Structure 1
C-alpha cells in the first residue's frame, strides 16, 4: 500500500477527512488531464479515436466496479441527480402509485420523487432509527408501492444498508429497486447483480476519486426500453456517427441516456482514478478503509462527552463517522477543525469524518486529538 501513498499530494499540514463530499484526485488523474490538455492544445481533436478508446476503458472499468453484466449497461451521466431524474421521469406512473424512501435521504433522492406529486405519486418515508432499518423499509412497501429508492450509505449517519436483503425483498414484492450508490462505490465493493438492482447511480467525485461532472448510471437491460426518454441528440442514436441517416432509433444500450457530446475531459480523469482502484483492488481498499473507520470509532469513543451517530456494528458501517460533543455546538467544532487543517463536513446530526483507504493513520490520530482538545475546553 505504501507505493500508493505517492499517488496523493496533499498540502503539508492538511488532514483530509472529507471523501464523502469531494475527494482529492490521485496524481495519475492530474497527469491524465494534463496530457489530454496538452494534446488538445497541439492537435485539437486529431486524436479523437484515442479519446474514444479511453472512454471505452472507462465504461469497462465501471462495469467491473459495480459488476454490471456488460459495458452496454453503463451510461455516463453528469451526476447522480440526473440519473435519478432519468428514472423518476422515465417511468410511467399511475395516480396512487407510491415510492418508498428513508427519512434520512440526501435531498437528491427525496426531491426527485416529491416532484412527481402532480402525477399523483405519493412518497412514503420509512424511519431508519430502529434496530432493523431494512425491515422498516420493506414493511413500508404496500400494494401501491411501485419503487423503493434508498441510498446505499446514508450521507449523515454513515449507516450502510443491507442491499442484498432489500433487493430480495423488492423482488418478492414486485417492487422496483433503485440505489443511490454514491457513498459506497469506490469505498466498498458494490454488486448490482447480487443486490438485484433495477437502477443504480453514483457521481465519480467522492470515493471514486474523480472529477465533478461525470457519474455512472446502471439500468437493468429489460427496463431500459421502459424508461421514456426526454432528451434526444446525435449521441444516443443506435447508428452512432451516421449523420446522414434519416431513420433513427435510440441505442439499445445504456448509451440511449446520453443525448449529446461526452465529457471527454472528465472521462480521462475518472478513467485514470479508477485504474488506481483496480490496481489496488476493491477488497483491499475496503479492508484499509475499515481499519481507518475503526481507528476513528475507537479514538472518538474514548473522548468524554462524545456522541457517535454512526453505527457501532462494523457490518453497518462504510466510510463515514459522524459525531457531536455534548454541550458544544457542532458548527464550532467544525470551524475549529477546518481552521487547523482537518478537512471535514457539517452534516446531519454533527461533524462528519470520511477518510479513504490511503489516509495516513497519524492524520486520523491527529484529528482525534484535535477533537479531544475541543471537547474538554
Structure 2
C-alpha cells in the first residue's frame, strides 16, 4: 500500500475487488463531483453551467500531465470504441492499404479497422503466439510476436493497431520498441490503452504513438462511459472528421455562423455535447489519485500485490500465465480447472470479485489494496478451485 492510500480509499474490504480490468469501483470523490454537477443542473438548468465551465480545460490539462503530452492533444470521449472509430473512419486510406492488428484484439480495436474493408483496406491479423515459446493452451489467447509483425508489414502498411495490454491474457506490448519500429517505416501506431492507463506508465510522445484511446472506468476508477483520446498534431492533420457538431467549431455559441471552422487541437473530436458530469468525475480521480502518485510506483505496487496473492495460491489449482518483465501488466491470467462461470459466481458469493473472459480467471488488484486482502482472496480461490476439481474427479 502506498502512503496516504487509506485516506483516499477508507473502506476497501467488502468485497475484495480483484477485477480492475473490468469495471472498477467508482472513486467516491468522483461520484461526489458528478452529483455536484447534476445537482446544479437540476436546480438551475443552463444557469448551473457557469460553475463548471472549466471542466473540459481542466480535464485536457490533467490528462496531458498523466500522459506527458500537451493538453491540446487530448480529447474527452465516451469510450474506446467511439475514439477508435473516429480515428479509423477518418484515416485517409486508399484501396489496397493495409492495417496490421492481432487476431484476439478486443472488439473496440477490431471492428473499426475491419469495417475499412468496404474502402478496400486489408486487415492483416497477427497469429496468437506464446512470447516465451510455451505449448499452446488450447483456444486461450496468449500474445503476438514482433518477429511476425516484421514479416507481415509491407510497403502498403499504413497502420499498426494493437492494445498495449491484451484484455484476455495480460500480455503487454513493448511500446517503445513497437513505436520505434513503426516510426522507422512511416507507419502510424494506434494503441488501445484501456487495460494500461492508470496502471502502467504510458508516454505517447516517447513511444512515437500516433493515437491512443483509453476508457475511464477500468484502472482509472472513473465514471462509466468516460474516456480519453490522444492524437499527435501531425496525425490529426491526416484525419477527416466523421462526427460533426457545434462543439468542434471555433465560433462556439454563435450557432448561426455555419462556416466550416473546426478547432485543430483535441477539441476536433469533441464534436457536440459531451457528458460533462462524467468529465467532472474523471477530473476528480486524475487530480486526487493519478496526479498525486507516480505511475511507476502504482505499477510496482500492483505487481507486488500480484505476487502476494500468487504466493498464497496452490500452484496445482491456480496456474498463472507469466510473461517476461517487459511484457508484464496489471492483469495476471490464471488457468484453473472447472467451469469458469461457476467459479466466478461462487467467488462473488464468498466476497471476491474476479472476471474471466477467454478461458482465464483474471487477477487484477490495484495499488490501494492491502496484503491481507490478497492473502484472504487467495485462500477463497484455493477452496473454490479445490471444490471444482473434486467435482470434476467425481
TM bucket normalised to smaller = over 0.9
Instruction: Please state if 1:265 is matched with 2:277.
Output: yes
Does residue 87 (structure 1) correspond to residue 99 (structure 2)? The answer is no
The structure-2 alpha-carbon separation of the partners of 1:366 and 1:164, relative to structure 1 and needing over 3 Å to count, comes to same
Spell out, residue by residue over 1:268-292, the C-alpha distance to the aligned partner (whole angstroms, 9 max, x if none).
1000011121112312212211211
How far did 1:243 drift? 3.0
Counterpart position of 2:366: 356
C-alpha distance in structure 1 between counterparts of 2:185 and 2:130, whole Å: 22
Partner of 1:48: 49
**CA gap 1:288/1:127 in 2 versus in 1, 3 angstroms:** same
Distance 1:127 1:299 in 2: 34
C-alpha displacement of 1:54: 2.5
Aligned to 2:97: 97
Q: Which moved more, 1:1-10 or 1:170-179?
A: 1-10
Separation in 2, partners of 1:216, 1:12: 30
Whether contact under 8 Å (1:102, 1:137) holds in the other structure is no
Number of equivalent positions:
373
- For 2:128 and 2:66, the matched residues in 1 are separated by 28
Aligned counterpart, 1:60: 61
Residue of 144, 154, 169 corresponding to 1:142 = 154
Query: What residue number does 1:73 align with?
Result: 73
Per-residue CA distance 1:241-279 (angstroms, 9 max, x = gap):
333434331111121111111211001100001112111
Residue 163 of structure 2 aligns with which residue? Answer: 151
TM-score, length basis structure 2? 0.89
Q: For the Cα contact (< 8 Å) 2:241–2:269, is it kept in 1?
A: yes
What is the CA-CA distance between 1:2 and the residue it aligns to? 5.0
Structure 1 residue 315 displacement after superposition: 2.7
Q: How far 1:9 sits from its partner (Å)?
A: 5.5
| Aligned mate of 1:336, from 335, 341, 346 | 346
Is the contact between residue 134 and residue 165 of structure 1 (CA under 8 Å) also seen in structure 2?
A: no
Paired position in structure 1 for 2:265: 253
The Cα shift of 1:206 comes to: 0.7
> 1-side partners of 2:47 and 2:161: how far apart?
43
Instruction: Give ranges in structure 2 of 5+ residues lacking alignment.
Output: 133-144, 388-394
Contact 1:128 1:136 in 2 (8 A): no
Q: Which residue of the other structure, out of 305, 308, 317, is the alignment partner of 1:295?
A: 308
Q: Which runs of 5+ in 1 are unaligned?
A: none
Moved more, 104-113 or 144-153: 104-113
- Structure 1 residue matching 2:291: 3-state secondary structure: helix
Displacement of 1:10 after TM fit? 5.0
* Equivalent-residue separation in structure 2 for 1:212 and 1:101 (angstroms): 27
